[in-house]
């Protein structure tokens, strides 16, 4: 069930790290043909696999049909992620829509379209799996209800991203400069994300419980008993909710919400139906344990830790990719500026870090927090017998083996076994609490160390020196091997110009690149920008900048080249041409629109100061 969360987050990472190509490797017709073929292939393999499973279940030919069902769902879900990745990185589908005004102005809308595509793939799985799950569980849930339950349970994971990205899009559309300036800086982006995350942590439960279709638990013996127990346990909450998870057939309960005003206690109808009053008390004691041990706050802390880890280790991994020669050549080939492959590698690294972190680190704490919530029953009840019997009932009524653990929970047998150990020797309670406390302290220490490394790598002098060393080493190595490669001289020129500000060497490198490839628009553009904007007036050459920028635009019409030409007109005091050219850049800009808007404002102000009647 929680596996769907991981698939959705992986898909978000895949899409978020994608950079649209200016030129796709295949035509739109070929892309549509390949896309259609992939959809039909996925549909056929999914249908065929579940039809075979249905026959085996009906014939009784499977020893553990539930495990086979789960394995098949997992396999097809992973295949859906892979096909989605092909749609994005191989077929380059988003690039065909980025020129559309609404998608260019509000990129979140295009992202939502592709997220809907992934949901469509999952719906194929759920539609194909429906008959098998009915044979296994025999419930009366309709196909529509089954698919809707899967979607409603999983999709809320998109809500934070959708709001975060959507608000940023709205800010960029507003005519105010200050918020755009804040969001365009790394510190502003980090601050915006942290503030958003904290606000969401408080208010997300309100949205989620509505999305899940939860309703207040009706007055009666169940509500009265739960209210009485939580009052005695001194647990404050906003509401006790009936949780209609998968038609209410799942035997489970939950708690969400960091603060009492937005904290909800969730119980499914099946839980109330199967458990005795004493067992219901024990389950509420477990949920109380999550609140009293601050597990929900700690989950937020661990999520922030993931962001810190990704931020810190990414540069180290990129350095390794660049420095290890076979990996470098596999990634970039002969073009170190190749964004398509680099974007794919970036995505693979991001997804790998995410899976490793959540599978092993986050999963470790989830399992041990569940155990800590289990043993919290001793704080509120005389013994754990009601909780043990409730777990055994859940194991007997469930579709999974009680001996099978998963990444976020110990198995039913392991949980019952530990509670029985505590029944025999209460010292096991304190042992586990100490283990959790020690694990959190070690984690916190490591995150502080990793955060320090990440800060130094990204902002410290040591990180700058390391970055310069790696880059210069690799470029020099590649030039020695292929001295006739103009792209390498361009990269060396960019390094001298942007990174270490050795302008004479930058010009020499650009000139070498142009000797080998005179009609390279990117080299012409970069050289023009240097001559137009160089911090050292000695190297400024406005006339040369204008000549180079015009030639670059003849070879390639792109917003950044139009921007360079506009700047070249500006430094030559041709303000009207600068305004006209920057307008063209803004019209076709797919991203970084704030930069072009800022440039246009500068040119207009210069034009107005020269001629007040101009616009």
Q: Which of 197-201, 341-345, 488-492, 573-577 has the highest mean pLDDT?
A: 573-577
Going by pLDDT thresholds of 50, 70 and 90, the confidence category of residue 235 is very high
Instruction: Determine the Cα–Cα distance for residues 235 and 289; give it in Å rounded to an integer.
Output: 10
Going by pLDDT thresholds of 50, 70 and 90, the confidence category of residue 169 is confident
pLDDT, residue 18, reads 82
Q: Is 423 a domain residue?
A: yes
Range of weakest confidence among 198-202, 379-383, 457-461: 457-461
pLDDT, residue 167, reads 85
Q: Is 293 a domain residue?
A: no
Q: Is 202 a domain residue?
A: yes
Q: Is 469 a domain residue?
A: no
Q: 324 versus 206: which is more confidently predicted?
A: 206
pLDDT, residue 117, reads 96
Q: Are residues 19 and 167 in the same domain?
A: yes
Task: Show the domain range for 513.
Answer: 483-610
Q: Are residues 12 and 68 in the same domain?
A: yes
Residue ending a domain, among 432, 453, 474, is 453
Range of weakest confidence among 24-33, 50-59, 250-259, 436-445: 24-33
Looking at residue 223, which CATH number applies to its domain? Answer: 3.30.2010
Q: Are residues 322 and 369 in the same domain?
A: yes
Q: Are residues 77 and 2 in the same domain?
A: yes
Range of weakest confidence among 80-94, 163-177, 298-312, 320-334: 320-334
Q: Is 615 a domain residue?
A: no
- In this predicted model, what pLDDT tens digit does every residue of 413-432 receive, in sequence order? 999 999 999 999 999 999 99
Q: Averaged over 254-267, what is the pLDDT?
A: 94
Q: Are residues 172 and 205 in the same domain?
A: no
Q: Averaged over 38-48, what is the pLDDT?
A: 96
pTM exceeds 0.85 for this model: no
Q: Does the pLDDT at position 186 exceed 70?
A: no
Q: Are residues 431 and 368 in the same domain?
A: yes
Instruction: Determine the Cα–Cα distance for residues 196 and 300; give it in Å rounded to an integer.
Output: 12
Q: Does the pLDDT at position 356 exceed 60?
A: yes
Q: Does the pLDDT at position 369 exceed 70?
A: yes
Residues 6+ apart with CB under 8 A from 420: 388
pLDDT, residue 402, reads 79
* pLDDT, the chain, mean: 86
Q: Is 179 a domain residue?
A: yes
pLDDT, residue 164, reads 83
Q: Are residues 563 and 601 in the same domain?
A: yes
Whose CA is closest to 317, among 358, 288, 346?
Answer: 346
Residue ending a domain, among 154, 184, 214, is 184
Q: Is 567 a domain residue?
A: yes
Q: Averaged over 454-465, what is the pLDDT?
A: 72
Q: Does the pLDDT at position 22 exceed 50?
A: yes
Q: Are residues 160 and 15 in the same domain?
A: yes
Q: Are residues 251 and 119 in the same domain?
A: no
Residue 250 in tokens:
């799942």
- Bridge-based pairing of strands 215-216 and 253-256 is unpaired
pLDDT, residue 421, reads 96
pLDDT, residue 77, reads 95
What b-and-e string marks burial along 448-480, b requiring 16 or more CB atoms within 10 Å of the CB?
eebeebbebbeeeeebeebbeebbeebbeebbe
Q: Does the pLDDT at position 282 exceed 70?
A: yes
What counts of helices (H) and strands (E) characterise the chain?
28, 4
Q: Does the pLDDT at position 113 exceed 60?
A: yes
Q: What is the domain count for the chain? A: 4
Q: Averaged over 361-369, what is the pLDDT?
A: 95
Whose CA is closest to 107, among 23, 42, 166?
Answer: 166
Q: Are residues 390 and 495 in the same domain?
A: no
Q: Are residues 143 and 70 in the same domain?
A: yes
- In this predicted model, what pLDDT tens digit does every residue of 506-552 receive, in sequence order? 999 999 999 999 999 999 999 999 999 999 999 999 999 999 999 99
Going by pLDDT thresholds of 50, 70 and 90, the confidence category of residue 482 is confident
Q: Are residues 489 and 419 in the same domain?
A: no
Q: Does the pLDDT at position 327 exceed 60?
A: no
pLDDT, residue 355, reads 87
Q: Quick one: which H or E segment has residue 201? A: helix 186-211
Range of weakest confidence among 73-82, 165-174, 384-393: 165-174
Q: Is 87 a domain residue?
A: yes
């Amino acid at each position: 069930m929680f596996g769907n969360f991981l698939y959705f987050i992986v898909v978000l990472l895949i899409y978020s790290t994608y950079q649209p190509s200016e030129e796709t490797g295949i035509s739109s017709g070929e892309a549509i043909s390949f896309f259609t073929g992939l959809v039909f292939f996925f549909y056929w393999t999914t249908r065929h696999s579940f039809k075979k499973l249905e026959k085996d279940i009906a014939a009784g030919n499977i020893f553990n049909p539930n495990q086979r069902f789960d394995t098949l769902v997992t396999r097809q879900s992973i295949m859906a992620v892979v096909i989605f990745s092909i749609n994005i990185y191989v077929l380059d589908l988003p690039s065909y829509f980025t020129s559309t005004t609404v998608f260019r102005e509000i990129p979140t809308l295009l992202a939502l379209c592709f997220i809907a595509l992934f949901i469509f793939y999952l719906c194929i799985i759920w539609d194909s799996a429906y008959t098998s799950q009915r044979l296994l569980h025999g419930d009366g849930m309709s196909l529509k209800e089954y698919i809707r339950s899967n979607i409603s349970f999983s999709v809320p994971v998109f809500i934070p991203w959708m709001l975060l990205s959507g608000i940023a899009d709205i800010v960029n559309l507003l005519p105010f400069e200050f918020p755009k300036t804040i969001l365009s800086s790394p510190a502003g982006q980090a601050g915006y994300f942290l503030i958003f995350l904290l606000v969401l942590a408080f208010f997300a439960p309100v949205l989620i419980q509505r999305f899940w279709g939860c309703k207040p638990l009706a007055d009666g013996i169940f509500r009265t008993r739960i209210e009485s127990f939580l009052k005695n346990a001194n647990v404050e909450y906003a509401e006790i909710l009936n949780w209609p998870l998968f038609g209410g057939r799942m035997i489970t309960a939950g708690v969400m919400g960091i603060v009492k005003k937005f904290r909800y206690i969730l119980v499914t109808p099946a839980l109330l139906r199967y458990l005795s009053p004493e067992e219901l008390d024990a389950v509420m004691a477990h949920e109380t344990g999550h609140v009293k041990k601050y597990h929900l706050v700690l989950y937020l802390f661990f999520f922030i830790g993931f962001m810190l880890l990704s931020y810190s280790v990414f540069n180290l991994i990129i350095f390794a990719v660049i420095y290890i020669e076979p990996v470098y050549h596999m990634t970039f080939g002969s073009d170190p500026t190749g964004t398509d492959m680099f974007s794919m590698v970036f995505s693979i690294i991001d997804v790998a870090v995410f899976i490793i972190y959540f599978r092993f680190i986050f999963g470790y704490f989830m399992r041990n927090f569940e155990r800590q919530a289990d043993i919290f029953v001793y704080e509120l009840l005389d013994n754990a017998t009601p909780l043990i019997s409730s777990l055994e009932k859940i194991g007997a009524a469930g579709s999974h083996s009680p001996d099978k653990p998963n990444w976020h929970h110990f198995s039913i047998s392991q949980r019952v076994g530990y509670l029985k150990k505590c029944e025999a020797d209460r010292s096991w309670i304190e042992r586990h609490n100490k283990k959790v406390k020690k694990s959190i302290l070690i984690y916190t220490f490591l995150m502080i160390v990793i955060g320090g490394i990440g800060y130094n790598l990204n902002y410290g002098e040591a990180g700058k020196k390391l970055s310069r060393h790696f880059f210069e080493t690799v470029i020099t190595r590649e030039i020695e091997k292929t001295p006739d490669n103009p792209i390498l001289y361009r990269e060396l020129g960019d390094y001298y110009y942007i990174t270490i500000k050795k302008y004479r060497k930058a010009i020499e490198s650009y000139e070498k690149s142009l000797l080998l490839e005179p009609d390279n628009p990117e080299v012409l553009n970069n050289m023009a920008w240097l001559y137009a904007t160089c911090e050292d007036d000695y190297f400024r050459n406005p006339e040369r900048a204008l000549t180079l920028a015009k030639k670059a635009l003849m070879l390639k019409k792109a917003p950044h080249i139009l921007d360079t030409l506009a700047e070249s007109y500006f430094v030559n005091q041709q303000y009207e041409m600068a305004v006209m050219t920057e307008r063209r850049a803004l019209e076709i800009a797919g991203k970084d629109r704030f930069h072009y808007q800022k440039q246009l404002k500068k040119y207009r102000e210069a034009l107005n100061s020269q001629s007040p009647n101009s616009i």
